[in-house]
Structures are given as structure tokens and as C-alpha cells.
Amino acid sequence: MAFIATVRILVDDDSESLVHDGLNEMLMEQQMGCPNGEKRGWIVDWAIGPVSPANEVIREAIRNGRYQKDAAFGFLSLKPYGFSEDHTKACLSEGIPVWRLR
């Protein structure tokens, strides 16, 4: 059986071209399989779509070491990480759903 998977990845790098190069290299290793060729890799093909910058709230969380897993993909808990209400508003204005731990 074969599957097509859509994957979103948050990458901490300043260069869009390095992001593309790094992802291609990582996927190519999985496509080739074993070094002596006895087994093919499990990835058959891929296409990397457009790369866009993360919003400022996410970039700041990474810079400060406060990034929380899954925050860039729709689940951002701001309260325990000391983000201000302005950051919460910025997040919401960019379409990122926000929930708070109580």
C-alpha cells in the first residue's frame, strides 16, 4: 500500500534556501535506503511546497527558549510562558488559535 502524507515542519533557520536544502537532504537519505542497496528506502517521492516565515510570536518563543511543542500548528498555551496580552492578540490576528492553561 502507498500513502501521501502532508507534513508541516517548523524549522529554526535564517535562510529559506537552507531550509529547502536540509529537507531535501533528509528526505533523500530515507529514499535511498541502506548504503549497500539491499533494501530501498521507505520514501518514494516528495515535493516541498512554499516556505513562509513563522510569525513573530513563534520566532520570539524560539529565541527565548520558550517554544512549546505544537504551538506553531494551532495549540499555543501562552499563560505559563509569560507572554503578554499583546502577544496573544498578535497570535490571534495571524489566525493562530490560542488556549490558556488555568
Residues 27 and 16 in one domain: yes
Residues 5 and 47 in one domain: yes
Q: pLDDT tens for residues 69-85?
A: 888 877 554 444 455 66
Regarding whether 84 and 44 lie in a shared domain, the answer is no
* Residues 2, 31 share a domain: yes
d(CA 63, CA 69): 14
In angstroms, the CA 94 to CA 5 distance is: 25
Domain membership of residue 24 as a residue range: 1-52
Residues 29 and 57 in one domain: no
Is the pLDDT reported for residue 90 higher than 90? no
From 41, 84, 95, select the one nearest 61 (Cα to Cα): 84
Distance linking the first and last C-alpha atoms of the chain: 44
pTM: 0.62
pLDDT digits (tens, 9 = 90+) for 12-33: 998 999 999 999 998 988 887 7
Question: Using CA atoms, how far apart are residues 79 and 62, in angstroms rounded to an integer?
Answer: 16
Confidence of residue 87 (pLDDT cuts 50, 70, 90): low
Check whether residue 31 and residue 78 sit in a common domain. Answer: no
Residues 48 and 78 both lie in one domain: no
Domain total in the chain: 2
Element spanning 21, H or E: helix 16-32
